Amino acid sequence: MKKKYIFLYISALVLTSCSVAVKDVPKKQTKIEKKPSLPEKVITYKPERKEIIVKNKPNIELEEKQILQKEANSLNIPIPEDEDIQKFIYEYAVNKKKFTEVALRRANYFLPLVKDIFSKYNIPEELSYLAVVESGYNPYATSISGAAGIWQFIPSTAKRYGLRIDDYVDERRDPVKSTIAAAKYLQYLYNYFGRWDLAIAAYNCGEKCISTKLSTEKYKFTDIKYDLPDQTREYVPRFFALLLIAQNPEKYGLDIAGNKYEIITEIADREITLDEIAKKYKIDYEVLKFYNAHLKKEIALDGVNINIPKLMLAEFDKRYIYIPKYNNTQIVKENKNQQKQPIQLVSYSKDYKQHIVKEGETLYRISKIYNVDIEELKKVNNLTDNNISVGMVLKIPINSEQKISNIVFKENKKYITHIVKEGETLYRISKMYNTDIEEIKKLNNLSDNTISVGQVLKIPES
């Protein structure tokens, strides 16, 4: 019996010691679990950020859509319902603000010219800003695929629209000729698709790229957007984003103010360097070079366009009654040969007749025609030197012995030579020298309009 009680007593002691041990363990574990409190803060923080974004975003988007719709209604071309337009507005106005300001300021140098040409081809003036997407209005821009100039023509399309590319000239970089080509191409694309959104997309990737994606159910850009290459998919909304920014730059905090120039284009009558032209017109060399990026060697050959910003010629305007626009002006040649046409005369007063300067005339030559001293001509016309321009109106002093109305130039039988270059046609050469195509054919014994590279042609002097 005593043994039984002793056993029970020992068992009780063991159990008591075990219960003490069990109580000590949880205390140590509790201290370890309380240390990592960071996860609780992370878990409660994330939902708060998500709620803020989701709560405010719809109101902002709704407000922007309403504003953009009002701005779109003032344009001449419809804006597609493309959500990416807003995305690219933010990109150009915020992330690429510096590029956008520079590109739109540079556009000012060309916009009067581009809008004037586009109006002649019935192209909406809003499409003038397509060149901002293409090149940032940089005539020196060149893409990986070999596209060049402000309108980024590839060689094949350039050739298709008559742009000359050789060792001396790349007319894709000529702002005048390339813009005429762009107007013709856009006109063709619009006539082909009947919609400006598709025409704009096709300007980027070509007609076939767009036409193969169209059907009776898919007839506008947003219908086929995700069937197009990535670049074209972004191209259209990028254009409309930049267009909307350009219409209201102050709204987006952009300063794009800058001078706008009318470009005067003259045709070189001989080989002449840009340096000579800069000195002749007192134009900054770098400015002149910028407008003549098409001259690869900074030399204009006979018959090649030379572009001069009209703002730089302001000092000449006081002397010129009429300055022809970019597609009509030519350099007055020192031409000793006489023309066939009678002199154009208009009654001015009892003591003077009026003479309108024509191509090829010089002040010296006019003085000899009318038998008037050159210094007297300069005096009555307030000229400080012998410079005159096509279209300028001169007063001619008259004496009683002259019979001016019957004066006629002798026939001109002399000619100059032209070596045919790649890409040239007889029609283009006739326009280059302002002469009739039939006269060139007759002088060169040509039975048709076929010519070849390297062929030497006689060109009647005008």
Q: With b meaning 16 or more CB within 10 Å and e meaning fewer, what string describes 90-99?
A: ebbbeeeeee
CATH of residue 386: 3.10.350.10
pLDDT of residue 89: 95
Q: How far is CA 344 from the centre of its chain?
A: 39
The answer to whether residues 86 and 166 belong to one domain is: yes
Domain membership of residue 277 (yes or no) is yes
The answer to whether residues 166 and 304 belong to one domain is: no
pLDDT of residue 351: 59
pLDDT of residue 12: 54
| Residue entry with tokens 């709560």 | 55
Domain membership of residue 290 (yes or no) is yes
Q: How far is CA 200 from the centre of its chain?
A: 15
By CB atoms closer than 10 A (0-12, 13-18, 19+), residue 351 is exposed
The answer to whether residues 162 and 246 belong to one domain is: yes
Please state whether the predicted TM-score (pTM) of the whole model is above 0.75: no
Give the other-Cβ count within 10 Å of 126's Cβ.
20
Average pLDDT across each block of 10 residues of the chain; the chain has 462 residues. List them in order.
55 50 46 41 36 37 53 76 92 93 90 93 95 95 94 96 94 96 96 95 95 92 95 96 93 83 83 87 84 92 85 37 31 36 33 69 80 84 78 69 34 64 81 82 82 79 64
Read off the tokens for 389: 């321009």
The answer to whether residues 97 and 208 belong to one domain is: yes
Nearest to 113 by CA among 311, 331, 332: 311
Output the furthest CA–CA distance in the chain (Å, rounded). Answer: 173
Look up residue 14 and give its amino acid. Answer: V
CATH of residue 185: 1.10.530.10
Give the other-Cβ count within 10 Å of 183's Cβ.
21
The answer to whether residues 425 and 387 belong to one domain is: no
Domain membership of residue 329 (yes or no) is no
Q: What domain range is 90 assigned to? A: 65-252
